[in-house]
Amino acid sequence: MTQKADKLFTNAIVLTMDGKLNQYDPGTVAVKGDSIIAVGFESEIKKEYSADEIIDCGGRVLMPGLVNAHTHVPMTLLRGLADDLRLDVWLMGYMLPVEREFVSPEFVRLGTSLACAEQIRSGVTTFNDMYYFEDDIAQATADAGMRAVCGQSVMKYPAPDAAAFEDSIAYAREFIKKWKGHPLIVPAIAPHAPYSTTPEILRTCADIAREFDVPLHIHISETAFEVENMRNEQGMPVVPYIKKQGVLEAKVIAAHCVHIDVGEIKTLQHVNAGISHNPSSNLKLASGFAPVQKMLDNGLNVGIGTDGPASNNDLDMFEEVRLASFVAKASSNDPTVVPAATALLMATRMGAQALHIGHLTGSLEPGKRADLIIVDTAPVHNSPRFRRDPQNAYAQLVFASKSTDVTDVMVNGKWLMRNHELLTLNETELLKQARELAQKIDTFLIEREQSVLSKLIALGGSMEQESFEVQVKVRVTEPDQLVQKMKRPEVEITAYKHYHQYDDYFLFDDPSQGRLRFREDNLINAKGEVENVRSRLTLLGQQREGEFGHDVLLSRSRFLAPAIHTSRFYREYFKPKQEISVEKNRLRWHIRYKNTEFFINLDEVKAPQMGHFLEIKSRTWSRKDADRKAELASELLALLGVGDAEAVTQDLIEILTTK
């Protein structure tokens, strides 16, 4: 008496990708409900199981669906928007501005559906995402029938779905509660990267990941620049830094890990972190060569990811698997490392383990969900077939198969594609909507293309300042008295400097372009001599985008760049309509008051003659923190005896241009 299955896959070259890399040819897989119940040689399985539906695989390969271990699926909609650029120009000049303008729940649903269509076509059954409005991404993914780990992004910068990181954290909490336990979706929290978060954000995210027992998805050590900065600022590389913030107490999925050393590899292995290696993205952005062989040697679970389609520019895991093998060989100067079977394992069972869902998917084994694909390995670009060595089967798939050779895809026991036809998505309609959106993005960018900001960014090295500026400014009539008051015991002076500042303001026809300030800072020593000179460019927004209380300014559009060229260069490059020069003497204190740091500037504006001004300043990524600092700044004003002085709400350049 045979047992009853729902479906029997027969006449297949079955590559199980299980612990022994068992192959069955001809092999059979039995599926019941959402799960695999038997795998083996056809002659044996057919004796034990019967089913109403028999799927004849026609001698093609039957294998587990591929696991895309790191991506940002909605960015299908930004594919090919900007290429061959340095990371900062690409990110700050194109991706971030477009995302701020366009990313919405509707955007991410459309982009996710497109990504599902592309991934199903290319044999991906599971992906690991990180983006905004992750609730809508999860919904679109579940609607398409795919399996995914969906990580809600948290960053210190304002995001399309959050004005401040506190909003993202609150969103993530609700998102995780809603999706936890879903048959296809594993919700996760995704603090974007160490450099784009704060220790507080990392700790909070780790706490949430542990509270709900969900993965924590994060970018780690993608570029050498990131590691260098971390060493300079924290005196340690990236992995020890995130460990210090408690991140490694969660189920971590670390994307990239290009620039990590053996010590960091061992640390990650010790906490069973999963890695996503993203070869196309690392090559295209010139990020470097990840130490894949070393990670594997040290027992890490290394998956393979496409990264976002805006930096790849597709979601083709067959390409990534091939590149994972190629790049490991080339970068280690050894053609025997990461052989075909290993590369394919990374994209299946090991990839699922890296996402902490190895118990659900990644191999054809009884008890796992029925996530499987059929691949035709007999087209002209993949013929003939050699059978001398079991490795030949993996070599065919890894070195010569194309994603378009995938003919059928099943996830969780449900068909998503039969004979190249998608069953859960309306591709034509999705493509139409994508075309319409692309036209809007084209129009938006063509308009911005000539902006000062984009030109500033095109120079490289620019960076956005903290989102919230706390600033109080008053006219001062008796500066010498104020200098005396700085010696009060409540004010702890941690640094004091004297500058002569020469500012050139560039003004443009279109005031919405903002103003560009070229500042030369001459540092003056105790003898009154110039000790040091530095220059930098600052793009000031035309007006504050909002105010919190009377002292806190939101200045989201403030960009800084080192001015490595002369003011003449910038004059010729930006072609300002008008130019205004200001010369001033600045006494600058870095102080600590009630355990909080502030800058205090006492300015004497000499040319044009405008008298003295006192500024108390601080910047932060957190709105809550900004409110607290504004209160302290008011206290400081009183303490310095200028609590009643005339408040000035304009910048110098505003005063000068509105006269």
- Binding to its own copies (CB under 8 A): which residues in 301-320? 309, 312-316, 319
- Contact between 461 and its own copies per CB under 8 A: no
Which of 173, 210, 244, 402 touches its own copies (CB under 8 A)? 402
Give whichever of 47 and 381 is closer to its own copies, judged by the CB atom.
381
- Contact between 391 and its own copies per CB under 8 A: yes
Amino acid letter, 235: G
Q: Which residues 123-142 are close enough to bind its own copies by CB under 8 A?
A: none
Asked if residue 38 lies in contact with residue 5, where contact means CB atoms within 8 angstroms, the answer is yes
Q: Which residues 518-577 are close enough to bind its own copies by CB under 8 A?
A: none
The sign of the torsion formed by the CA atoms of 576, 580, 585, 586 equals negative
- Contact between 178 and its own copies per CB under 8 A: no
Which of 54, 163, 438, 656 touches its own copies (CB under 8 A)? 438
Give whichever of 81 and 507 is closer to its own copies, judged by the CB atom.
81
Give whichever of 210 and 448 is closer to its own copies, judged by the CB atom.
448
Name beta bridge partners: 507.
Answer: 578
Name beta bridge partners: 498.
Answer: 524, 587
CA distance 543 to 124: 47
Asked if residue 66 lies in contact with residue 373, where contact means CB atoms within 8 angstroms, the answer is yes
Exposed / middle / buried, residue 221 (Cβ in 10 Å: 0-12, 13-18, 19+): buried
Which of 199, 246, 288, 479 touches its own copies (CB under 8 A)? 288
Which of 335, 511, 546, 549 touches its own copies (CB under 8 A)? 335
Stretch that binds its own copies, among 14-22, 177-185, 393-401, 479-487 (CB under 8 A): 393-401
Strand order of the sheet with strand 468-476? 463-464, 559-562, 530-540, 515-524, 492-507, 578-593, 596-607, 611-620, 468-476, 552-554, 546-548
- Contact between 419 and its own copies per CB under 8 A: no
Name beta bridge partners: 506.
Answer: 516, 579
What minimum distance in Å lies between the beta carbon of 144 and its own copies? 12
Stretch that binds its own copies, among 145-153, 213-221, 434-442, 521-529 (CB under 8 A): 434-442
What minimum distance in Å lies between the beta carbon of 384 and its own copies? 3
- Contact between 296 and its own copies per CB under 8 A: no
Stretch that binds its own copies, among 16-24, 344-352, 389-397, 529-537 (CB under 8 A): 389-397
- DSSP letter at 84 equals S
Q: Which residues 87-126 are close enough to bind its own copies by CB under 8 A?
A: 87, 90, 114, 117-118, 121-122
- Contact between 384 and its own copies per CB under 8 A: yes
Which of 92, 216, 254, 340 touches its own copies (CB under 8 A)? 340
Which of 270, 359, 381, 488 touches its own copies (CB under 8 A)? 381
Stretch that binds its own copies, among 175-183, 394-402, 504-512, 578-586 (CB under 8 A): 394-402
Stretch that binds its own copies, among 262-270, 386-394, 528-536, 631-639 (CB under 8 A): 386-394
Asked if residue 558 lies in contact with residue 539, where contact means CB atoms within 8 angstroms, the answer is yes
Q: Which residues contact 323 (CB under 8 A, 6 or more apart)?
A: 279, 280, 283
> How far apart, in Å, are the Cα atoms of 135 and each of 78, 161, 184, 435, 505?
20, 11, 13, 24, 45
Strand 61-64 and strand 372-375: pairing?
Answer: antiparallel
Q: Which residues contact 342 (CB under 8 A, 6 or more apart)?
A: 296, 325
Closest CA to 508 of 540, 479, 482, 470: 540
The sign of the torsion formed by the CA atoms of 222, 225, 230, 231 equals positive
- DSSP letter at 159 equals B
Q: Which residues 38-77 are close enough to bind its own copies by CB under 8 A?
A: 76-77
Q: Which residues contact 507 (CB under 8 A, 6 or more apart)?
A: 515, 576, 577, 578, 579, 580, 657
- Contact between 250 and its own copies per CB under 8 A: no
- DSSP letter at 146 equals -
CA 525 from centre of chain: 43
Give whichever of 98 and 370 is closer to its own copies, judged by the CB atom.
98
CA 123 from centre of chain: 24
CA distance 71 to 222: 14
Which stretches of 226-341 are assigned E, i.e. beta strand?
Answer: 251-256, 274-277, 301-304
Give whichever of 317 and 582 is closer to its own copies, judged by the CB atom.
317
- Contact between 626 and its own copies per CB under 8 A: no
Asked if residue 331 lies in contact with residue 304, where contact means CB atoms within 8 angstroms, the answer is no
Residue that has been written with the tokens 């009539």 in this structure: 477
Give whichever of 10 and 325 is closer to its own copies, judged by the CB atom.
325
What minimum distance in Å lies between the beta carbon of 237 and its own copies? 19
> How far apart, in Å, are the Cα atoms of 423 and each of 182, 401, 418, 646?
21, 23, 7, 69
Give whichever of 431 and 564 is closer to its own copies, judged by the CB atom.
431
Which of 2, 3, 43, 392 touches its own copies (CB under 8 A)? 392
Give whichever of 170 and 224 is closer to its own copies, judged by the CB atom.
224
How many CB atoms are located within 10 Å of the residue 646 CB? 10
Stretch that binds its own copies, among 203-211, 438-446, 571-579, 594-602 (CB under 8 A): 438-446
CA distance 253 to 256: 10
- Contact between 423 and its own copies per CB under 8 A: no
Give whichever of 22 and 76 is closer to its own copies, judged by the CB atom.
76
Strand 578-593 and strand 492-507: pairing?
Answer: antiparallel
- Contact between 83 and its own copies per CB under 8 A: yes
Give whichever of 87 and 653 is closer to its own copies, judged by the CB atom.
87
Give whichever of 23 and 396 is closer to its own copies, judged by the CB atom.
396
- Contact between 418 and its own copies per CB under 8 A: no
- Contact between 294 and its own copies per CB under 8 A: no
- Contact between 283 and its own copies per CB under 8 A: yes
What minimum distance in Å lies between the beta carbon of 272 and its own copies? 28
- Contact between 25 and its own copies per CB under 8 A: no
What minimum distance in Å lies between the beta carbon of 73 and its own copies? 13
- Contact between 292 and its own copies per CB under 8 A: no
What minimum distance in Å lies between the beta carbon of 327 and its own copies? 7
Asked if residue 448 lies in contact with residue 550, where contact means CB atoms within 8 angstroms, the answer is no
Closest CA to 120 of 143, 145, 139, 137: 145
Three-state DSSP at 387 gives: coil
What minimum distance in Å lies between the beta carbon of 173 and its own copies? 34
In this structure, what token pair is assigned to residue 367? 């008890």
What minimum distance in Å lies between the beta carbon of 611 and its own copies? 48
